[in-house]
């Protein structure tokens, strides 16, 4: 024991879980992410979020994945971050990430541990293509989109997300967030599974939901209901609002749930 104790909170957005350290030191982020996010020897999480207030009143968010790598942005993580720094209070939070500034609108729910948040995610952009598709046997007629949501995504349309060996394929593209999607079951919805860079298979991915909804609309796999697409994921459902003009802006809407407050020795 070093004698230095810090207070952490843990939250999850649709099962995609994060540890938040307000006042956290960036220089130790990678090391502590590997230690604290370990699900057998640590606290267990998909990532560590460091929070510090800026002189202009905005919050600075730095994200380290469970493997210690640094990531630009997380749509589920930023909702957890807003819940942590705002102590579940409603309001608008300016949060500066490595992918730029995002505005998060927080509203309360009947459950004091759960907030609902909408995140202005910016406009999807063309991402860097991955050259691996022929090597892993993806059918050449499958729709594939490389989408930049401030972090890199590759979205692949499939017949059935349940039968794809996502771990095997995802491990072959460690530098990208890989989403597999299929339409439905509702006309305005898609079903998605994700293998995240630096974390592996997770129950949900907010930026991935945005990339997948946007790509699926471009392909004609889904018809938005009033410009909204529901994204079904293993951990639950998020809503992606698609704003005009194309490619326009997207807004991610979903919950964050407070799990626990933890004191640990550094």
Do 101 and 201 belong together in one domain?
Answer: no
Do 49 and 12 belong together in one domain?
Answer: yes
Do 145 and 163 belong together in one domain?
Answer: yes
Do 99 and 187 belong together in one domain?
Answer: no
- CATH number (domain holding residue 57): 3.10.310.10
Do 108 and 181 belong together in one domain?
Answer: no
Across the chain, which has 266 residues, the per-10-residue mean pLDDT values are 82 98 94 97 97 97 97 97 97 97 97 97 82 55 87 92 91 91 95 96 97 93 89 98 75 98 94
Do 110 and 129 belong together in one domain?
Answer: no
Do 98 and 154 belong together in one domain?
Answer: no
First to last CA, the chain: 8
- Write out the DSSP string of the chain: --S-EEEEEEEEETTEEEEEEET--GGGHHHHHHHHS-TTTSS--SEEEEEEE-TTSPEEEEEEETTS-EES--HHHHHHHHHHHTTT--EEEEEEETTEEEEEEEEE-SSTTEEEEEEEEE--EEPPPPTTTTTTT--TTS-EEEEESSSEEEEEE-S-GGGS-HHHHHHT-TTSEEEEEEE-SSTTEEEEEEEETTTEEES--HHHHHHHHHHHHHHTS---BTTEEEEEETTEEEEEEEPSSTT--EEEEEEEEEEEEEEEE-
Enclosing domain of residue 174? 125-248
Do 110 and 133 belong together in one domain?
Answer: no
pLDDT given at position 1: 41
Do 51 and 20 belong together in one domain?
Answer: yes
CB 200 within 8 A of CB 10: no
Do 115 and 137 belong together in one domain?
Answer: no
Q: What are phi and psi of 18, to 5 degrees?
A: -140, 145
pLDDT given at position 132: 58
Q: pTM of the predicted model, to two decimals?
A: 0.93
pLDDT given at position 225: 84
Number of structural domains in the chain: 2
pLDDT given at position 245: 55
């Amino acid at each position: 024991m070093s004698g230095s104790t810090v207070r952490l909170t843990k939250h999850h957005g649709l099962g995609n879980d994060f540890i938040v350290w307000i006042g956290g030191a960036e220089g130790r982020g990678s090391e502590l992410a590997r230690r604290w996010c370990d699900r057998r020897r640590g606290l267990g999480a998909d990532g560590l979020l460091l929070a510090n207030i800026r002189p202009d009143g905005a919050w600075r968010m730095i994200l380290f994945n469970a493997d210690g790598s640094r990531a630009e942005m997380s749509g589920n993580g930023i909702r957890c971050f807003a819940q942590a720094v705002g102590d579940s209070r409603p309001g608008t939070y300016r949060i500066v990430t490595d992918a730029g500034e995002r505005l998060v609108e927080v509203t309360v729910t009947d459950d004091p541990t759960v907030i609902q948040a909408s995140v202005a995610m910016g406009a999807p952009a063309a991402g860097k293509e991955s050259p691996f598709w022929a090597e892993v046997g993806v059918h050449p007629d499958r729709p594939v989109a490389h989408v930049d949501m401030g972090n890199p995504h590759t979205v692949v349309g499939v017949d059935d997300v349940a039968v794809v060996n996502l771990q095997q394929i995802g491990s072959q593209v460690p530098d990208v967030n890989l989403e597999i999607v299929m339409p439905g079951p509702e006309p305005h919805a898609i079903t998605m599974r994700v293998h995240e860079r630096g974390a592996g298979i997770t129950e949900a991915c907010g930026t991935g939901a945005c990339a997948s909804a946007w790509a699926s609309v471009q392909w004609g796999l889904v018809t938005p209901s009033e410009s909204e697409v529901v994204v079904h994921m293993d951990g639950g459902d998020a809503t992606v609002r698609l704003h005009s003009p194309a490619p326009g802006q997207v807004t991610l809407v979903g919950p964050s749930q407070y799990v626990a407050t933890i004191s640990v020795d550094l």
